[in-house]
Chains A and B, each alone.
Chain A
Amino acid sequence: MADEYIIRNGQVYDPKQGIKGDVMDICINNGKIVSKVSKKAKEVDATGKTVMAGAVEIHAHVAGPKVNEGRNYRPEDKLFTCRATGANTHMEAGFSIPTTFRTGYNYARMGYTTVMEAAMPPIYARHVHEEIKDTPIVDQGAFPVFGNNWFVFEYLKNKEDANVNAYIAWLLHVTKGYAIKIVNPGGSEAWGWGKNCDTIHDPVPYFDITPAEIMSGLMKANEQLGLPHSIHVHTNNLGNPGNYETTLDTFRLAEGVKTNNKFGREQVFHHTHVQFHSYGGDNWGNFESKAKDVMNYVNQNKNITIDLGCVTLDETTTMTADGPFEHHLTELNHLKWANVDVELETSSGIVPYVYNPDIKVCAIQWAIGLELGLLAKDPMRTFITTDHPNAGPFTRYPRVFGWLMDQKYRNERLSTFKYSEKVNDATSLGSLDREITLYELAQMTRAGPAKALGLTDMCGGLAPGMDANVAIYNINADSLDGASIEKAFSAADQVFKCGTLVVDNNDIITETDKRTLWVDVKVPDNKQVERDVVMKFLKYYSMNLANYEVSDHFVPHPYVIEVDAT
């Protein structure tokens, strides 16, 4: 930690400071970026190489009960993918649902230093944090799911704003959560009745509240509380032809909503894995891309951000708190299905999926993900993800970068599908000649997500005073072809995490102490909510309230972001 480093002569890309490939030195001291170091500093030569801040993952499923159930019920994912214990590493295994160790190592190898777990069922928060604790190197936070929660439904239904806020503050505190995640609002609860909410105006059975009311209510609460991140949404009707209208309806909920926070965040609404939500047509036969319509809207509305959810054309494991969707999927591909109803909070499902390039729909999905990225006018509001592991494993990011940054590379793929012509008819990818630049890549994977998460002064940039998360890649603007991009970003030459050199010569050399980011909101005392929580636990929960809270020993390296909303 105390080591001083100077990274010499790298081509630096830092949107935080507007640095676009200037050759300069980056100095590190005591875990932070500094403007200069003493003569004792160790030198790292980055001549001809690209230097960026450590990347920030805004949405991935990397820890918790459903990830672990995926590992449990897919032993074949570990077949031939094991790596024995190394000099500095534990044994690693798995491809789409890697072990916790491989998860941490592989993110670090790619130069990622902050990773958000996208869906934490509150009742299993302890499990999530146990896995986070076991995932080396990367800083992590987890988003508890709120979109199908009985407390939320009842308070929103009765328009009890103060109670909504107090409950959110309480749940973030007891689960050591980071942000408000909403998955198929109302739909996952309706799944308990064997139903779903297909539009944002379908009422939830029994509770008689609509997904639109749930999302608007939580968005309002999020801004009243002033949380670092906005609400993080996976809307209704995921993965169905014609669902782009539901997506646009959802986006419109943010119109006129103003942001309120002290973290430099500008959006009030983040929509995740938009690729799965940008489908036209009304069946799989006339299925087509609506990326243009979706991105037109996103480009014009500055208070929303999105991430892509790019399909990588691999065999993977889909997993989401969207229980009804996973059932739909197993009916399509007839592969094994796991499903859980999580008491008063959510549901979830898991199904393996093979994105086969020879299948027209899979190839169109692939094209849509890239179209969204290439149509984005503001890379600070559009982030690259694969919704790991749903559209593909995160280890494929470098390949996605290659497709986005090299038109030839992506056209090679596009023209060699079994149904290339049909893919071209259904999407506009072939007509897009944009190539994402290294600077834009840094926006889409570093500065952008960090800002959206309210961490813009901590990570995703190289300004003095920020955490010294730095990645050095053996590539530069003169040699940006797809294959080289993929190779360079798969294994960074060096990676620093909070000033510690964790990756050297493309591999892990040490496991530094990772941190768990969580948000502690102070709200006025609320006896009503306290009583409601006790009553719900007595009446419905299978667990004792005393066993519910994630106590401190589950989070040995906390990094608490305090918010005062009193």
Chain B
Amino acid sequence: MDTVTLTMKNLPALYLEAETISPDQFAAKSPAEIGKLSAYMGNEHHTLGDFFEIAGNPGKTAADTKIVVTGDLSKVKYIGMKMTAGEIEVLGNTDMYVGAWMAGGTIRVKGNVDSFCGMGMTGGELLIAGNARNYLGAAYRGDWRGMQGGKIVVGGNAGSDLAFFMRGGEITIGGDVDVHVATHAEGGKIIIKGNAKSRVGGQMVKGDIYVFGEIERMMPSYKYIGDEQIEVNGTSGTFQVWIGDLGERHGKRKGETIYGKIYLKVKEAEEKEGSTRVSRKIKLTDAQMQSVSEAFAGKEPSVSNVKAFIQESFGIEMKPMQISRLIDEIRRKA
């Protein structure tokens, strides 16, 4: 495999749309020809050579080509868009649409990426060492075809709307994720090693989400159906299995209805108690409930405020999800 190195020499004044940085575009070209590949900045037409120092030679085919991009890439978008083979290594942080619609090959980003990366991808690997922002592995605006294949691995956290309209492939997030995970999904597998916030699997009709940490607030349209002992991503453990989104249509296969599934890891300390989930459920007494509702009457109770109040008043530690159900209950009664 031959390597071409692109080093940022002139920082673009606006964001640079560099979809031509791809092994498919570079293959069998000379450095001079690569320098002439087009790149838009705002409504101005430029070339890659205007911004990058280009060294080394690409291979004859995309598969034989490795591209290393270095320098301050925080204003470069679309690296590796639609690539089908080969490798790209981005040494630093970069902007949006990295690996969008990619179909094959590997992209490694040493730093963070912005939103819309791996959008609509159908194959290949997108490996991000840092954090990714919103709409990772999602669908383009209006489209119903999000990530359909391949693999995305993020070392750090991911933003909101992860895997929006996902239909296949696999996403692993090392850290936490923000709201809206796998909205409208119709397939695929998502592993979240950290915590998730809320609206996980909203309108999902098919697909699997594994959460190793906590889900701050489970969608009310998901139903707990029992615990399962499973191995995922090299970690085995007991997971609560939730099915949903029950507000949506669901297909059938061999007479069985297919649901979206959320697997929520049961913490080891809890497992040791050997009790079922139902008996672990902490219930407040009616008097305690009364005092909570009085304390928050006329206010908009937040999970953290209520959690703190219950701990201070009654010395009870409740999970965020339980708190949010409690809040729902108080609202209903009011």
Contacts and interface: CB of A to CB of B under 8 A. Distances in A.
Contacts of A77: 142
B249 A75 contact: no
B249 A76 contact: no
B144 interface: yes
A334 interface: yes
A336 interface: yes
Contact of B249 (A74, A334, A352): A334
A75 B142 contact: yes
Nearest to B143: A76
B252 to A, nearest CB: 14
B142 A74 contact: yes
B140 A335 contact: no
B142 A335 contact: no
B141 interface: yes
A415 B144 CA distance: 30
Nearest to A79: B140
A73 B143 CA distance: 9
A359 to B, nearest CB: 16
Contacts of A334: 249
B43 to A, nearest CB: 9
Contacts of B143: 76, 79
Nearest to A76: B143
Contacts of A79: 140, 143
Interface residues of B, number: 6
A334 B185 CA distance: 13
A443 B143 CA distance: 40
A352 B144 CA distance: 10
A36 B142 CA distance: 55
Interface in A488-514: none
B117 to A, nearest CB: 16
A77 B249 CA distance: 26
A73 B144 contact: no
A336 B184 CA distance: 11
Interface in B111-159: 140-144
Nearest to A333: B144
Interface in B231-271: 249
Contacts of A352: 144
A555 B144 CA distance: 38
Residue of A74, A76, A335, A352 most packed against chain B (CB within 10 A): A76
A327 to B, nearest CB: 14
Contacts of A73: 142
Contacts of A335: 144
Greatest chain A CB density within 10 A among B141, B142, B143 is at: B142
A75 B140 contact: yes
A76 B140 CA distance: 7
B144 A336 contact: yes
Interface in A333-347: 334-336
Contacts of B249: 334
A560 to B, nearest CB: 40
A378 B29 CA distance: 56
A501 B249 CA distance: 55
A81 B142 CA distance: 15
A520 to B, nearest CB: 41
Contacts of A336: 142, 144
Nearest to B40: A84
Interface string B198-239: 000000000000000000000000000000000000000000
Nearest to A74: B142
A76 B144 CA distance: 9
A73 B144 CA distance: 12
A73 B140 CA distance: 12
Nearest to B249: A334
Contacts of A74: 142
A334 B184 CA distance: 11
Contacts of B142: 73-77, 336
A492 B266 CA distance: 68
B141 A75 contact: yes
B20 to A, nearest CB: 14
A95 to B, nearest CB: 13
Nearest to A78: B142
B122 to A, nearest CB: 15
Interface string B21-34: 00000000000000
A74 B249 CA distance: 23
A424 B144 CA distance: 32
Nearest to A75: B142
A334 B140 CA distance: 18
A79 B143 CA distance: 10
A240 B142 CA distance: 28
A130 B142 CA distance: 25
B253 to A, nearest CB: 16
A91 B140 CA distance: 21
Interface string A330-365: 000011100000000000000010000000000000
A350 to B, nearest CB: 12
Nearest to B82: A80
Contacts of B141: 75-76
Nearest to B248: A334
Contacts of A76: 140-143
A336 B140 CA distance: 14
A356 to B, nearest CB: 13
Interface string A52-81: 000000000000000000000111110100
A76 B143 CA distance: 6
B15 to A, nearest CB: 18
A160 B94 CA distance: 72
Nearest to A72: B142
A75 B142 CA distance: 6
A69 to B, nearest CB: 12
Nearest to A85: B43
Interface string A305-347: 0000000000000000000000000000011100000000000
Interface string A520-537: 000000000000000000
Interface string B159-171: 0000000000000
Contacts of A75: 140-142
B84 to A, nearest CB: 15
A553 B144 CA distance: 40
Interface string A101-114: 00000000000000
Interface in A470-485: none
A288 to B, nearest CB: 26
B179 to A, nearest CB: 22
Nearest to B141: A75
A336 B143 CA distance: 9
A358 to B, nearest CB: 16
A368 B154 CA distance: 50
A335 B143 CA distance: 10
A74 B141 CA distance: 8
A352 B249 CA distance: 19
A352 B140 CA distance: 15
B60 to A, nearest CB: 27
A87 to B, nearest CB: 15
Interface string A149-184: 000000000000000000000000000000000000
A347 to B, nearest CB: 23
Contacts of B144: 335-336, 352
B195 to A, nearest CB: 32
11 contacts: A73-B142, A75-B140, A75-B141, A75-B142, A76-B140, A76-B141, A76-B143, A79-B143, A334-B249, A335-B144, A336-B142
Interface of B: 140-144, 249
Given A75-B141, A76-B143, 15 more contacts: A73-B142, A74-B142, A75-B140, A75-B142, A76-B140, A76-B141, A76-B142, A77-B142, A79-B140, A79-B143, A334-B249, A335-B144, A336-B142, A336-B144, A352-B144
Minimum-distance CB pairs A-B, first 3: A76-B143, A75-B142, A76-B142
